[in-house]
Structure 1
Amino acid sequence: MISKTIKANSTEAIIKEIDKVTSNKFEPTLAIVFLSIKQDWNAIRNVLDKKGIAIFGATTSGEFIDGEIEEGSIVIMLLDMNLEYFKLVFLETGERSTFENAKQMGFEGKNTFKNPAFIVVSGWLSQDGENIINGITEGFGTDATIFGGMAGDDLKLEGPIVFSNNTKSDQGLLALIIDQDKIEVNGIATCGWKPIGTTKTITKSEGNVVYTIDDKPALDMIVKYLGAELDFDSGKEIVTQIGAYYPLQMERENMPPVMRTAMFTNTEDRSLICAGNVPQGSKVKFSLPPDFDVIEKVIEECNELKNEKQQEADALIMFSCISRLLSFGILMSEELEQVQQVWGAPMIGLFTYGEYGKSKTGKHEFHNNTCCVVTLKEKI
């Protein structure tokens, strides 16, 4: 399987790149499209559709390609994957819940391939991360392979979208279902963040809203404990100042912690609204801001994946939390470059509002502040 990556900063430029790459005996069947919500995704979709190319698309909060970070741009990976080896499924939350749609996706995968993998992108379904994982698992089975991420919208926090050839929605759920008997799909969800301080208890929460930590208002606890100085005028102060630098690590027995990012705050009741559920009674720790050790941990786990499961790859897809970009700064490029160098394959990715994937010793689940790396390799 051949994969080729292209990028541009405008619709006109990316169309020229698409024409150029498809004019030299390369006949792609699938396009993975990640782009800024400012770009004309509809025009790009029309060009690809006219060429008979299936589209797996999402808006971003930043995109990257072959180790290089872009901003406000368009990145595309074109693959000549056999049409019989994959299927796209698009469902929209509305009359049916996200969980019911995800369950239907699980059924679709089970009925299409004996051994499917699900690569998923979701729109503005910020409270449904666990529902998407649980729904697919309910429909397919507990051993479902699930990787992906929540689309972004340049941190506007208004409504990211996902799209395919004939459909788009900010409430959409899009799955690229791949036949693992024909295409090897392996991945790792890894973060590298280090915990700090003592274990604390979520004493009051409901879904993804945390009201109190150790019986103290959640926001006050973070401000006092971390000595954070917050500007509440920007409207994005939680994502950019707390979520990026001080995510919560939910501890679990015999499993790695799962990260939770604070996305919003309610200044009246001093609660935190997180990008993922935080059950009442959960044990949590805060995290240290990242340094080179975080990147080293990520690369170590990628190398373990390569050595144990996936020696070679035809393509890499990476879903990385926007909080990593905000907190890493210039270090982010270092992480992306080193991840690509592990396999040396073409790579495409986006910065997300949440990630789906499997940690080294865990199960497939919903993450924050994590990077999820997916490798594709056609079997001979």
Structure 2
Amino acid sequence: MKIIQAIKKANAPFVFKGCSSGKHLKNPLVLVFGNRYMLETNSIYEEVKELFTDAHVVFGSTSGEIMDDTVLDGTIVLTAIEFEKSSILVHRSNVGEHNNNDENLGQHLMAQFPKEDLKHLFIISEGSTVNGSALINGLEKHKHSMISLSGGLCGDDDRFERTLVSYNENPKEGEIVAIGFYGSSLEITSANFGGWTPFGPERIITKAQDNILYELDGKPALDLYKNYLGEKAKELPKSALLYPLSVRTSEESEPLVRTILNIDNKENAMILAGDVPIGSKVQLMMSSVDDIASGAYSAAELAMKGRNKNPEIALLISCIGRKLVMDQRTEEEIEEVKSVIGNSTVITGFYSYGEMAPFQGQDQCKLHNQTMTLTLFSE
């Protein structure tokens, strides 16, 4: 596996790290994560294509870019990977092509990939309107249990205006890109961990539809949530990132963390990143800088557990809510990850509106919020 990285700042060309260009790589996968405004430049795809003429180029907008142990804002980070013993296949689709039925979209994408030798599917999804839970349900419906799945929902800082994704074209809205990794030599592991603590009374979801929450204990959910936030309610939906919801669908199930992506004052409802089934138990959550850093360390330990080889590259997807809590200390969670996976592993990734990974010891992928998610690759 050959890996090179580059960074682009506003009104400047890409600057490569440790080399002068990427033209020596053959058919690389080029992951381009960046600030939404910078990705809206009409020439961005051509600019990357000039650097890598025969590349598979995947773009995704972010709420912060990750390169090595550094967290950046207002930049574009590029990571190009040439696989020496394995291969990739990339497919894309758009929510508008499936009448906004995200589960059907997931099924359609999964059907595009031949199953023989498919080890892993990595998803880079638009994050503004997609129901991540439904998308994953569609992907999982016909996925063999031996095929692992991870990824994330793209971000737009804390604006929640629009997110951009694309494959081999300029980034645009509504896109979901799936990257399939093939080959017996590949070792790919993924894991996630949060670090958030529930507080306050536990309430029952009494009215909801998919990812829209209407009522808790028979009362308007948004009114209750605003009462808890107090003065911070004026800053919604941004302030909701500091107080996500813990959702437990049954006594036996692992609790899922759900971020509030938007609010509907007319319907007195909250729009979440994933499904919130009726009958589920809900609590507010909060966290501290130290808890989030510790959670990142735990996520890295889980991802490394049982591996045969040291990872050559790590794709990190962490939540915008964690970044807001960490503030000036955001890089500490990346440093915690690096202390576990080692200095020789190339690190890239972004801050997101949602993360995709299975719980430890489970095969089926889930949508998470407010977690650090790692996907580790080696050949």
TM superposition shift of 1:28: 6.3
Query: Are positions 1:78 and 2:80 aligned together?
Result: yes
**Cα distance per residue 1:142-190 (max 9 Å; x no partner):** 5541111111223332321111214643111101110152321111122
* 1:40-91 deviation per Cα after TM superposition (whole angstroms, max 9, x unaligned): 4653422333421111211112111112111110101111114951111111
1:92 touches 1:169 (CA, 8 Å); kept in 2? no
The 1:43/1:83 distance shift into structure 2, 3 A limit, reads farther
Q: Is 2:106 the partner of 1:102?
A: yes
Alignment gaps of 5+ in structure 2: none
The correspondence of residues 287-366 of structure 1 with structure 2, limited to 5 A, is 287-309=285-307, 311-344=309-342, 345-362=345-362, 363-366=364-367
- 1:127-138 correspondence to structure 2 within 5 Å: 127-138=130-141
Structure 1 vs Structure 2 CA RMSD:
2.4
Q: How far is the alpha carbon of 1:2 from its aligned partner?
A: 2.3
Report the Cα distance in structure 1 between the residues aligned to 2:307 and 2:283, rounded to whole angstroms.
Answer: 32
C-alpha contact 1:60 1:152 (8 A) present in aligned 2? yes
The separation in 2 between residues aligned to 1:258 and 1:308, in whole angstroms, is 25
The question of 1:69 aligning with 2:71 is answered: yes
Which residue number in structure 1 is paired with residue 264 of structure 2?
Answer: 266
Deviations, residues 5-42 of structure 1 (Å, cap 9, x unaligned) = 2212136421677981326x555611111011111465
Q: Does 2:21 correspond to 1:21?
A: yes
Q: Which residue of 2 aligns with 1:240?
A: 238
Alpha-carbon contact 1:127-1:277 (below 8 Å) kept: no
Letter of the 1:246 partner, please give it.
Y
2:5 alignment partner in structure 1? 5
Question: Structure 2 vs 1, CA of residues 3 and 17 (structure 1 numbering), >3 Å: closer, same or farther?
Answer: closer
TM-score (ref. length: structure 1): 0.89
What letter matches 1:369 in structure 2? Q
Q: Does 1:53 align with 2:55?
A: yes
- Give the aligned length: 370
For 1:223-276, what per-residue CA distance to the aligned partner results, in whole angstroms no more than 9, with x for missing partners? 33x3532353xxxx333212x221111124434211111122223443222121
SS in structure 1 at match of 2:305 = helix
Contact 1:29 1:82 in 2 (8 A): no
For 1:258 and 1:120, locate their aligned partners in 2 and report how far apart those are by CA, in whole Å: 19
Residue type of the partner of 1:280? I
Q: More displaced, 121-130 or 271-280? A: 121-130
Aligned partner of residue 243 in structure 2, secondary structure: coil
Q: Whole-Å Cα distance in 2 between the matches of residues 354 and 300 of structure 1? A: 18
**Alpha-carbon distance in 1 for matches of 2:11, 2:30:** 15
Deviating above 4 A after TM superposition, structure 1's stretches of 4 or more consecutive aligned residues are 15-19, 25-28
1:203: which partner in 2?
A: 206
Cα offsets for 1:288-314 (capped at 9, x unmatched): 232313321331242233132365111
Seen in structure 2, the aligned counterparts of structure 1 residues 44 and 112 have a Cα distance that, compared at 3 Å, is farther
Q: Which amino acid aligns with 1:46?
A: E
TM-score by length of 2: 0.89
Contact 1:2–1:314, Cα closer than 8 Å, also in 2: no
